Amino acid sequence: MDYIEAISQSYDLVLKLEDRGKIANYIPELAKVGPDKFGVHITTVDQLKFGLGNYQEKFSIQSIAKVLSLCLAYKMQGEKIWSRLGVEPSGTGFNSLVQLETDNGIPRNPFINAGAMVIIDILLSNLGDPKMELLKFIRSLTNQQNIDYSRTISNSEKSYGYRNVALCNFIKSFGNLENEPEEVLNFYFDLCSLEASCEQLSELFLFLANNGKTKHDNTQILSLSKSKRMNALMQTCGFYDESGEFAFKVGLAGKSGVGGGIIAIHPNQYAIAVWSPKLNEKGNSFKGMRFLEEFTTLSQQSIF
Ligand code: GLN
């Protein structure tokens, strides 16, 4: 079945399912989003573009942005970043504190909150204007100048982000942050507040399906080896303690966010983004997971 047909059939099927997820309400602004939003968009390396539902509406991409901050830090600093954090799945929730104690403040991977904070610290130490330079980097991945941070979302998270404050201070206490926790947290909340539509996301992430090279201007963003490693990390750590389940049922590299978005990559084929705000108990989009499972089944294409 071709991609358009597989998307259309999966979309219709999942649209009808009862949504057993719950919207993230620990960030008050996220709770205001329409719970029935549902959008999907694919961009392939040979430039097929196809979307359904609310695929042009921007939403809060939350932890999906952690892939982009990691790309920039990895591009700038290379393999030495791995002395500050690991590449192992954590098997715990995205905001868990437990492993940091036994691991001496070295986060298991860059996609749990603790790991993303260490990456943010690296960007703060190595860029003159980190917030603007990260945004410039992200915008350069497509030609989309209207991708931006949301002050409303970042302020909303900041005012209730007690657990992230604890995580950040905890890492600092082990000496694994160069900058002050307050600075790291401010940038971390800004990162999570980035907004994009499914259409924009699938275009932003296409370079990871294209061996590290953008399609719109043929820029080698990451080397082939780094690009492969980014996909490997998404495959093993992109869904926290549901990463195994995602590999098992969907079979793509991917990353989720508590805004209900998921980006998934099939190397050499496509990037596909799906958005549905209600989350399962692991913090991943209930319908998004189901959609991608149907899609890879019907298209008979996965990385395995
Ligand atoms: N901003 C969110 C948090 O730190 C990101 C979590 C996520 O998307 N999984 O809690």
**Per-residue model confidence as pLDDT tens digits over 49-93:** 999 999 999 999 999 999 999 999 999 999 999 999 999 999 999
* Alpha carbon 211 to its chain's center: 18
Instruction: Tell me the CB-side half-sphere exposure of residue 301, using CA atoms within 13 A.
Output: 17
**Residues 6 or more apart in contact with residue 36 via CB below 8 angstroms:** 19
User: Tell me, what's the pLDDT at 145?
Assistant: 85
Average pLDDT score, the chain: 97
Separation in Å, CA 5 to CA 38, 286, 290: 17, 22, 17
First to last CA, the chain: 18
* Alpha carbon 111 to its chain's center: 8
DSSP 101: H
- Of ligand 1's listed atoms, the one at least distance from the Cα of 189 is 1
pLDDT range class, residue 124, cuts 50, 70, 90: very high
User: Tell me, what's the pLDDT at 209?
Assistant: 98
**Residues 6 or more apart in contact with residue 203 via CB below 8 angstroms:** 43, 141, 142, 144, 216, 271
**Is the minimum distance from the CB of 164 to ligand 1 under 6 angstroms?**
yes
Query: What is the tens place of the pLDDT at every residue in 36-45?
Result: 999 999 999 9
What's the predicted TM-score (pTM) here? 0.97
User: Tell me, what's the pLDDT at 54?
Assistant: 98
Query: What is the tens place of the pLDDT at every residue in 191-211?
Result: 999 999 999 999 999 999 999
Tokens linked to 82: 């791995």
- Of ligand 1's listed atoms, the one at least distance from the Cα of 257 is 8
Report how far ligand 1's centroid is from the alpha carbon of 21 (Å). 16
Report how far ligand 1's centroid is from the alpha carbon of 257 (Å). 7
Question: What domains appear along the chain, each with residue ranges and CATH number?
Answer: 3-299 (3.40.710.10)
Tell me the average pLDDT across 18-22.
Answer: 94
**Is the minimum distance from the CB of 54 to ligand 1 under 6 angstroms?**
no
Pair 23, 32: CB distance under 8 Å: no
Q: What percent of the chain has pLDDT over 90?
A: 95
DSSP states along 154-209: HHHHHHH-HHHHHHHHHHHHTT--SS-HHHHHHHHHHHHT-EE-HHHHHHHTHHHH
Q: Which neighbouring-strand residues pair with 42?
A: 50, 272
Query: What is the tens place of the pLDDT at every residue in 215-246?
Result: 999 999 999 999 999 999 999 999 989 999 99
Query: What is the tens place of the pLDDT at every residue in 21-37?
Result: 999 989 999 999 999 99
**Is the minimum distance from the CB of 113 to ligand 1 under 6 angstroms?**
yes
Among residues 21, 41, 19, the alpha carbon closest in space to that of 30 is found at 21
Separation in Å, CA 144 to CA 75, 132, 137, 199, 238: 21, 15, 11, 11, 24
